[in-house]
Structure 1
């Protein structure tokens, strides 16, 4: 499905609101487009209406006294009125004259002495005429005042109705657009939580953030501004063409040439704009990623004096984005104002040519009101055209942004299972497990071991030996390529990830804390973790001794990543978090490596409480912390080279013995 269709499907979720907005928009456009028709009637029927034929009649409503007689416009004469002689009033320059016969045709007028000469093409005719004074002309206008006022009242009434519905449709469309983007952002955020961990190994966090924030904001502009403008413009253009066909079908047909020209121009524009926008959005993501990385590593950048090099790398990305922004700016400058100017001139040339040719024919009379209406509608025609052209840049940005967002949403995610199983016992067995982060590059090779309920298994080895990879497989952050992992006799891959993780807890080497309080970081706002459970978990790990000096105790605010707390305090909170969720299997991934000696002593006192009734896996560099482990697995390059208790391994004087002696300084 194309990006445009997917964006359309998102809009369909709120189709009722959009339909209401479009109905209001249609009413607004129709009431607005009636204006030139009203103006045409004011000009032709009332302001220039006195140039029609006037019949002598008896004194009455809408009659005008002239030369001792009463006259009424032909328009107002009823069938039962007595009609006498007739006159016709003509305006020649600033002078008004009367003649006593109807015009054969109208054209260029000239008044000489007592005659009016009218010339059109090769035809010319003269009529005896009498000059009418200014005060008398005002009397002839008197019957038109009420009609003019009524039409003006109608005109302003239509403007008010148009303004009300215009406001309504804008409000509803923008509200709908915000709702669409709200739903899209929720969908994207929900989806990234379903993505496997390996996806984030290859994509910087800044790029993901850019797609959820910047790209969805560009899409919001599509619904708020671009589509609103396109809808408004389409209805306006349709209404204007209908009005033009009512006034003059031939000229309206000429104006139809505007549409294929506009369509062709849009195709040419999109060809180049899509390329530039794709690069701009990509560079924007790169910039976000670099800013995020620089902020995270600012201490390292400043400590090693890498400010200049980091700035240089940033300027390179910024310069590339600037270059393509300028290219897009040049393209927009060429295709916006210039396009509309060219099209407007073409239409006006056709307009002048058509009316100029028509005016040469004696049989054709073109009223001033008709000319006004045409000029007004043609000017109005280019307002929506200008709107469409000006929004092409935003349209292209939104489509590219949508393409990037949907690419993220198309990444295969994991189904979130609501299935719950009874608490597992914690018997874990690895059977001939081999695993690699890349195909055929195994970091674990034929791993076999068993951990029984309540046992503590320690994993030791040099960096890169595969210790953390075993934990990643056990937690199902990744799945093995060969062999299987069995928990309580069931293959772990036959159990949904969320279901098995419900009974597992983990404490990482570098614990992550969220913005909130110490207590909220323990419970993670899980309603099942009560305040009493939180406080008990913190007390069990000895946190009451460490946090007793804090003003608000366990409800002390924690900012992002817990940067105001020491590494030992963060680790204690992480321990309490794992304990509060009461897992059957507990994983400690080098959990004591960043803790000072005093805090380590506090944690060691709580370890027996933590491990009681749980199968515990400990990855440790400090071998002193695992002396009491039931089984120690020594890994080297993805292979288990030694296994046994501390005393058994020390008696072998193998790899474990050497590592232990090295740490003791022997």
Structure 2
């Protein structure tokens, strides 16, 4: 499905609001476009209508008294009214005259004294006339004034109605756009929750953030501004062409040439704009990613004096972004006012040529009202054309942004399962498991061990030996390529990831804390975990001794990542979190490596409580912390090279013995 169709599909979810907005838009356009027709009627029928034929009559409604006699316009004459000879009121330059007879023909007028001369080709006629004073002329206009005021009131009423419906149309369109973007952002964020961990290994967080914020905001502009402009312009153009065809078919047909020109330009524009916008959006994501990475690693950048190099790297990205922005700017500058200005001038040239030619033909006298209406409609025609051309840039930005958002949403993921099972016993078995982050490059090779309920399993080995990879597989952050992992005899591939994780807890070397409070970081706002459970978990790990001096106690605010807390305090919160969720399987990943001796003593006391009734996996570099483990697995380059408890491994005097002796020697030297 194309990006355009998918964007339309999102819009159809709120079609009732959009249809209501388009209905209001149609009413608004119709009422607005009625204006020139009303103005034409006022000019031709009432202001210039005074030059139509009048008849001598008796005193009555809409009859005008002049020189002791009454006259009525042919338009207002009724069949039961007696009429006499016809007369005419004519305008010669700025003077109005009274002609006491019917004209033989009309043509070019000239006035000398009270003698009117009318010439049409070789024909010439002269009439004796009376020049009308201002008050006499006003008397002849009196029958028109009520109708003029009625039409003006109608015109004003239509403008008010148009404004009301225009407000409603914009309100509903923007409301639907906000709803669509709200839904889209929720879908994108939901998709992020579905994506496997390996996706984020290769896709920077800043780029993901750009998809959710910048790209969806560009799409919002599509629904709020672009589509609103396109819908409005389409209805306006349709209405204006309908009005032009009513007024004059030939000129309206000439104006139709605008449409293929506009369509051709749109095709050309989109060809280049799409290319530029893709680069711009991509560089924008790269810039976001780099800013995010720089903020996260600012301490390292400053510690190693990498500020200048980082700035130069950012400058290259920014320069490329600027370069393509300028290309797009040049393209837009060629289109908007320049293109529309040329088209406007061409249409007005055609208009002047056509009406000039028509005016030369005596049989085709064009009224001033028609002329006014045409000029008004042609001017109005270019407003929506200008709107369409100006929004082409936003349209392309939105389509490119939509393409990027939908690419993220098309990534294979897995729905978060709501399936809940009884608490695991915690019997874990790795059956000849092999795994690699890259195809064909195994970091774990034929890992084979078994952990029974309540046992503590320690994983030791040098960096890169595969300790964390085993935990990643157990959590199903990744799936094995060979072999099988079972929990309580069930292959974990057959159990939904979320179901497995509901019975597992993890404490990382560098625990992640969220913005909130100490208590909310323990419960993670899970409604199933009560305040009492939170406080008990904190007390059990000894956190009450550490946090008792804080002003707000367990409700002390925590900013992003808990940067105002010490590493020991963060670790205690992480331990309390694991305890509060009461997992069947507990993983401690270097959990005590960055903690001071005093805090470690507190945690060691709590760990005995924490491990009861649970299968516990400990990844540790400090071998002194795992002496009481039921099993110790020694890993080297992805292979288990030794297995047993502390006493057995020390007795065998293998790799574990060497590591332990080395650490003990280092401790003695440090002492």
Tell me the TM-score normalised to structure 2 length.
Answer: 0.97
Instruction: Name the SS of the counterpart of 1:550 in structure 2.
Output: coil
Instruction: Name the SS of the counterpart of 2:460 in structure 1.
Output: strand
Q: Matched residues in 2 for 1:338 and 1:320: separation?
A: 27
Aligned runs of 1:138-537 on 2, under 5 Å? Answer: 138-537=138-537
Q: Matched residues in 2 for 1:496 and 1:118: separation?
A: 98
CA contact (8 A) 1:587 1:616 kept: yes
CA contact (8 A) 1:57 1:84 kept: yes
Q: CA deviation at 1:127?
A: 3.4
Q: CA deviation at 1:99?
A: 3.0
Instruction: Name the SS of the counterpart of 1:61 in structure 2.
Output: coil
Q: Matched residues in 2 for 1:409 and 1:615: separation?
A: 37
Q: CA deviation at 1:107?
A: 4.2
Q: Matched residues in 2 for 1:663 and 1:104: separation?
A: 125
Q: Report Cα offsets for 1:328-364 as digits up to 9, x if no partner.
A: 1111110000111011111111111211121122211
Do the aligned partners of residues 189 and 129 (structure 1) sit closer, same or farther apart at CA in structure 2, a change above 3 Å counting? farther
Do the aligned partners of residues 118 and 325 (structure 1) sit closer, same or farther apart at CA in structure 2, a change above 3 Å counting? farther
Q: Does 1:614 align with 2:614?
A: yes
CA contact (8 A) 1:55 1:85 kept: yes
Name 1:132's counterpart in structure 2. 131
Q: CA deviation at 1:144?
A: 1.0
CA contact (8 A) 1:105 1:363 kept: no
Do the aligned partners of residues 267 and 117 (structure 1) sit closer, same or farther apart at CA in structure 2, a change above 3 Å counting? farther
Name 1:584's counterpart in structure 2. 584
Q: Matched residues in 1 for 2:243 and 2:462: separation?
A: 83
Q: Matched residues in 1 for 2:239 and 2:158: separation?
A: 15
Q: Matched residues in 2 for 1:657 and 1:124: separation?
A: 129
Q: Report Cα offsets for 1:438-482 as digits up to 9, x if no partner.
A: 000000001100111111100000000000000000000000100
Name 2:39's counterpart in structure 1. 39
Name 1:571's counterpart in structure 2. 571
Unaligned runs of 5+ in 1: none
Q: CA deviation at 1:189?
A: 0.5
Q: Matched residues in 1 for 2:5 and 2:619: separation?
A: 50
- Which shows bigger deviation, 127-136 or 183-192? 127-136
Name 1:108's counterpart in structure 2. 108
CA contact (8 A) 2:193 2:416 kept: no
Q: Matched residues in 2 for 1:322 and 1:597: separation?
A: 53
Q: CA deviation at 1:15?
A: 0.5
Q: CA deviation at 1:68?
A: 2.7
Q: Matched residues in 2 for 1:159 and 1:379: separation?
A: 18
Q: Matched residues in 2 for 1:511 and 1:620: separation?
A: 15
Q: Matched residues in 2 for 1:72 and 1:381: separation?
A: 40
Q: Matched residues in 2 for 1:444 and 1:102: separation?
A: 112
CA contact (8 A) 1:97 1:129 kept: no
Instruction: Name the SS of the counterpart of 1:361 in structure 2.
Output: coil
Q: CA deviation at 1:111?
A: 2.4
Q: Matched residues in 2 for 1:513 and 1:257: separation?
A: 64
Q: CA deviation at 1:223?
A: 0.7
Q: Matched residues in 2 for 1:28 and 1:198: separation?
A: 53
Q: Matched residues in 1 for 2:563 and 2:471: separation?
A: 26
Q: Report Cα offsets for 1:141-165 as digits up to 9, x if no partner.
A: 1111111111111111111111111
Instruction: Name the SS of the counterpart of 2:438 in structure 1.
Output: coil
Aligned runs of 1:649-660 on 2, under 5 Å? Answer: 649-660=649-660
CA contact (8 A) 2:85 2:101 kept: no
Do the aligned partners of residues 86 and 449 (structure 1) sit closer, same or farther apart at CA in structure 2, a change above 3 Å counting? same
Name 1:599's counterpart in structure 2. 599
Name 2:669's counterpart in structure 1. none
Instruction: Name the SS of the counterpart of 1:56 in structure 2.
Output: strand
Q: Report Cα offsets for 1:206-258 as digits up to 9, x if no partner.
A: 00001100111111111111111111111111111111111111111111111
Unaligned runs of 5+ in 2: 667-671
Do the aligned partners of residues 118 and 198 (structure 1) sit closer, same or farther apart at CA in structure 2, a change above 3 Å counting? farther
Q: Matched residues in 2 for 1:129 and 1:51: separation?
A: 17
Q: CA deviation at 1:315?
A: 1.1
Q: CA deviation at 1:106?
A: 4.3
Q: CA deviation at 1:102?
A: 4.4
Q: Matched residues in 2 for 1:620 and 1:85: separation?
A: 119
Name 2:561's counterpart in structure 1. 561
Instruction: Name the SS of the counterpart of 1:48 in structure 2.
Output: helix
CA contact (8 A) 2:116 2:129 kept: no
Q: Matched residues in 2 for 1:49 and 1:419: separation?
A: 82
Q: Matched residues in 2 for 1:118 and 1:301: separation?
A: 93
Aligned runs of 1:77-88 on 2, under 5 Å? Answer: 77-88=77-88
Q: Matched residues in 2 for 1:76 and 1:559: separation?
A: 83
CA contact (8 A) 1:99 1:127 kept: no
Query: Aligned pairs, how many?
Result: 665
Q: Matched residues in 2 for 1:520 and 1:372: separation?
A: 71
Do the aligned partners of residues 304 and 124 (structure 1) sit closer, same or farther apart at CA in structure 2, a change above 3 Å counting? farther
Q: Matched residues in 1 for 2:661 and 2:532: separation?
A: 44
Q: Matched residues in 2 for 1:345 and 1:123: separation?
A: 37
Q: Matched residues in 1 for 2:548 and 2:101: separation?
A: 111
